[in-house]
Amino acid sequence: MKLSRLALAVALLPVSSLYAIADNNEDALKLSSTVITANRTVESRKDSTAAVTVFTREDIDRLQPVNVADLLSRVPGVQIQQSGGRGSQTGVFIRGTSTARSIVLVDGVRVGSVTAGGANGALEHLNIDQIERIEVLRGARSAMYGSDAIGGVIQIFTRRGSSEGIQGRVRAAAGNKGVWERSAGVSGGNQDTRFNLSANLDERKGFDRTNKSFDSDADRDAYRNKSVSLSFSHAFNEQFRVGVNALDQRGKTEADNPAGSGWPIAVGTQEYTEFTASSASTFLEFQATEKWSSRLELGHSEDKLSMYNKLSSPSLLRDINSYRDSAVWLNTLRLHEQHTLRAGVDYLNEKVRTDKNTTYEEDSRWNQAAFIQHSYKGDVFGTELGLRHDKNQQFGNRNTWNAAFILPVGQANELSLSYSEGFRAGSLSDSYGPASWGANPNLKAEKSKSYELQWRSQLTDGISLETSLYHTEIRDMIVYVSDPVTWVGGMENVDKARINGLETSLQHEIFGANGALNLSFVDSRDQESGHQNPRIAKRTLSYDLDKQLGAFGVGGTWRMASSSFNDVNNKQEIAGFGTMDLRGSWQATQDLGLDLRLANIFDKKYSRALYSYDGKNYGYREDRFTVLLGATWTPNL
């Protein structure tokens, strides 16, 4: 079945049939009209109450992003912070919250560092060619996902096979600054079985990430990433399906450390990090009755970092390894065509293993949870009500809930009013890390409340508009408090944050060109001081415009961000910036395609984060003008 025919069939079928096709055959991952992350099951996007942005593989190939961070920067309400280009430390700020207050999932499994918390360490190494689909849910979703889902949830699905035979895939690309990208894969299957096996090698000589530092830092900061992914699923019959997904990425990234990060190295640094980021999951789906379906998921993820300095002895500075084991049992009851009940249990165990010089008071923590959610979709109105109970080894019991009311306005408009609660348990480093890091075992969990008014409108056949107005309050925020003279301090529950925001997404198709305009206004402040929260710009804008001209495709991306502050006292200003990218593609033959990307064509010099050196503040260098030319061969085998 061709994908276009499938999309048409899904649009015309009732909701019950949508589940039968998409959920059982994984075709939903290839459709922009479905969403999975909002309620952990496949549903039509028009039936979801959450604000969600979806990128399919088709979108990724068209937009030609440099990496995952580049793709996410197009999402309204999402801001990316990097410390010097590809492979550097990357954080994601969703709706004015810090990176530790969002969740990143790969095929349903939490990834990232359990010591840093949240999305830290999860985004910088994900290879864009290994990805089938990305969903970005904006807003609190703790009733479904538990701790950390205050800002939102990002779910990444690895490459999947299709039901149309076997196809190979070979790609090679080269660019300035010593960039080489190579990948190969094979995928395919039939209506019962799907598989994909992919391998990538990404190398780049890079550039000097700091403007000023020790002489030993004045060199190119290279990056190398080799990755492999596997996906397999099989349906034994119409009622029973199993599958497994695995992703392994490992390599080396070089970094400038201008201030030494506290290390007593007078001559400077030549630091590099060897990393491993991997995840694996398996699932079992069972359609017990016409109305009851059940899904069991087991997952494991690892995030390993070994940090070195060539100029010190011994060269190994630190080893920090994170591990997560998870299990989810989700049951979906379609009580009626308009009523759906979801209920399940959730288990998560986090562990950390470090070198002998880094001691944790406690090196593991478990969390048990049960959740239930009811959805009603009627002709006059719709509702959603969810409740979750978490039992955490450190923080004890926690209840969170969310509610939404949906009101259709005519045939082409919909108004949604929602309330959601969230909490964040903090990281293992916050509570149990070395005393020199300021760890505090008496920390309380952060708590949040969010209110949102969402408007969706199909203005014409080719123009749609989604707008959200939201307000979030966070209490007992976990922050590092230090003495202004001695700089000695620790983690405390002291801050309160107030976040107000407006985000708009306009999708249009005019004269055969497809465009996406995303605009965001966010005011994220500490309630007591009134200061703007660090590294969060008040205004961001992105605009993508693409047009297909037969076998040729052309497009461009324009992005802007206003100024922000690097520190809590709002003394260190990060200047705003704007960049322009251009891209083109040519399907030379049925099997061979060529693509060209010109990024930051005006060679804009800009920074997303600052560092202090020799009593002054400097910005980490982000990538300036880059060129990448690639060729992709996709033969049928």
Tokens of 356: 């002998």
The tens digit of pLDDT for each residue in 265-311 reads: 434 556 788 999 999 999 999 999 999 999 999 999 999 988 888 77
CB 508 within 8 A of CB 460: no
The tens digit of pLDDT for each residue in 476-504 reads: 988 887 766 666 778 888 878 999 999 99
Tell me, what's the pLDDT at 617?
83
- How is the chain split among helix, strand and coil, in percent rounded to 5? 10, 60, 30
Q: 3-class SS at 23? A: helix
Q: Per DSSP, what are the bridge partners of residue 427?
A: none
Give the chain's mean pLDDT.
Answer: 88
Q: Can you tell me the mean pLDDT for 518-522?
A: 97
pLDDT beyond 60 at 572: yes
Pairing assessment for the beta strands 564-565 and 552-561 based on DSSP bridges: unpaired
Cα–Cα dist 31/58, whole Å: 9
Q: Per-residue confidence at 183, pLDDT binned at 50, 70, 90?
A: very high
Q: 3-class SS at 45? A: helix
- CA angle (159 as vertex; 155, 162 as ends), nearest 5: 125
Classify burial at 201, counting beta carbons within 10 Å of its beta carbon; exposed 0-12, middle 13-18, buried 19 or more.
middle
Task: Please state the pTM of the whole predicted model.
Answer: 0.93
- The dihedral region occupied by 147, where left means phi > 0, alpha psi between -120 and 50, and beta the remainder, is beta
Q: What is the DSSP letter of 20?
A: I
Element (H, E) at 6: helix 3-12
Q: Per-residue confidence at 150, pLDDT binned at 50, 70, 90?
A: very high
- Whether the bond between 76 and the residue before it is cis, its omega within 30 degrees of 0, is no
Q: Closest Cα to residue 511, out of 545, 487, 484, 483?
A: 545
For residues 404, 410, 413 and 416, what is the CA-based torsion angle, rounded to 10 degrees? Answer: -10
The tens digit of pLDDT for each residue in 222-265 reads: 899 999 999 999 999 989 999 999 999 999 988 777 655 444 44
Q: Closest Cα to residue 301, out of 318, 276, 283, 320?
A: 276
E strands, 461-535, in order: 463-482, 489-510, 513-526
Q: Per DSSP, what are the bridge partners of residue 268?
A: none
CATH fit for domain 3-633, picks 2.170.140.10, 2.40.170.20, 3.40.50.300, 3.40.309.10: 2.40.170.20
Tell me, what's the pLDDT at 511?
85
pLDDT beyond 90 at 24: no
Tell me, what's the pLDDT at 395?
87
Q: 3-class SS at 60? A: helix
Q: What percent of the chain has pLDDT above 70?
A: 91
CB 123 within 8 A of CB 156: no
Domain ranges for the chain = 3-633
- The dihedral region occupied by 264, where left means phi > 0, alpha psi between -120 and 50, and beta the remainder, is beta
Classify burial at 448, counting beta carbons within 10 Å of its beta carbon; exposed 0-12, middle 13-18, buried 19 or more.
buried
Q: What is the DSSP letter of 439?
A: -
